[in-house]
Structure 1
Amino acid sequence: MKVKQISVFLENKRGRLAAVTKLLAAAGVNIRALSIADTSDFGILRLIVDKPDLAYQALKENGFTVSSTEVIAVEMPDAPGGLARVLEVLDQESVNLEYLYAFVGQSGHEALNIFRVEKIDEAVTALQKNNIKVLSGEEVYSL
């Protein structure tokens, strides 16, 4: 139930994000979701892609500083309170949330959130116990 996330360290310079996306396109890697956290000098690009191992390899071979991290993808209703319910479950189980980012599911009726948590296995167990769908990597990669 874990998803591989690719993180890329980028200098905050014109064209760096374009270079990453061009490289991934040339490698045949499709981006499913992304998030960028930045400062004035650099940024961290977090990516969910359909072929994480290929993306990692292509970026590394082309001189990018890249890492792979395990995250979870959680499906919830795309309605008021959907995220609040998930966060409440994690809070009740004392699972610390490091960060999250979201995208809309294919049907438009559910939202998908990517969560980076301290205790990933405990988070998955708690969410599933509360009938909250945690997607497998294969499910996310094939969206």
Structure 2
Amino acid sequence: MWVKQISIFLENKSGRLAAVARLLADNGFNIRALSIADTSDFGILRLIVNDPARAYQVLKDAGFTVSETEVLAVEVPDRPGGLAGVLDLLHESGINIEYLYAFVSKSAENALVLLKVEDLQRAVEVLSANGVTVQDYNIVHQI
């Protein structure tokens, strides 16, 4: 039920992000979603790719500092208030969200929100019990 996310520690200097993108492209990876958080000295690039285990190894072999994390992929109605409803459910259940990022498919009625939460299993239970679709790994990597 979880989605594997690759996180890459990058120095905040010209060309580092391009180097990751080129390495992934040259090795046939498709980036499905990404987020980057930065400071003046470094950034954390978070990626959902079509083959996270192999991408992890390719990045590590190329000398990047990389880790894998499990996140949830939640369908959220692509309309005003769609995200707020999902976040309200998690808040009311006392589930802390560490970070999130999202993308919208041009052909979909829903956005896909990737959530890093403290308790993945409990979040799935709360969301599913309230009619929210939590996507599995295979669906996310086909989008």
TM over 0.5: yes
Structure 1 runs, 4 residues or longer, greater than 4 Å off: none
- Give TM-score scaled by structure 1 length: 0.98
Could you tell me which residue of structure 2 aligns to residue 76 of structure 1? 76
1:54-110: CA deviations, max 9, x gaps? 110100000000000000000011001100110011012110000000100352421
Is the 1:4–1:137 Cα contact (8 Å) retained in structure 2? Answer: yes
Give the unaligned 5+ runs of structure 2. Answer: none
Give the unaligned 5+ runs of structure 1. Answer: none
Aligned-pair identity (%): 61
- Give TM-score scaled by structure 2 length: 0.98
- The residue identity in structure 2 corresponding to 1:73 is A
Alpha-carbon separation, structure 1, partners of 2:122 and 2:108:
29
Could you tell me which residue of structure 2 aligns to residue 129 of structure 1? 129
Q: RMSD over aligned Cα, in angstroms?
A: 0.8
Is the 1:6–1:48 Cα contact (8 Å) retained in structure 2? Answer: yes
Is the 1:6–1:56 Cα contact (8 Å) retained in structure 2? Answer: yes
Alpha-carbon separation, structure 2, partners of 1:75 and 1:108:
10
Could you tell me which residue of structure 2 aligns to residue 62 of structure 1? 62
Could you tell me which residue of structure 2 aligns to residue 35 of structure 1? 35
Query: Number of matched residues?
Result: 143
Shift of 1:130: 0.4
Alpha-carbon separation, structure 2, partners of 1:54 and 1:118:
26
Alpha-carbon separation, structure 2, partners of 1:119 and 1:106:
31
Could you tell me which residue of structure 2 aligns to residue 51 of structure 1? 51
Could you tell me which residue of structure 2 aligns to residue 5 of structure 1? 5
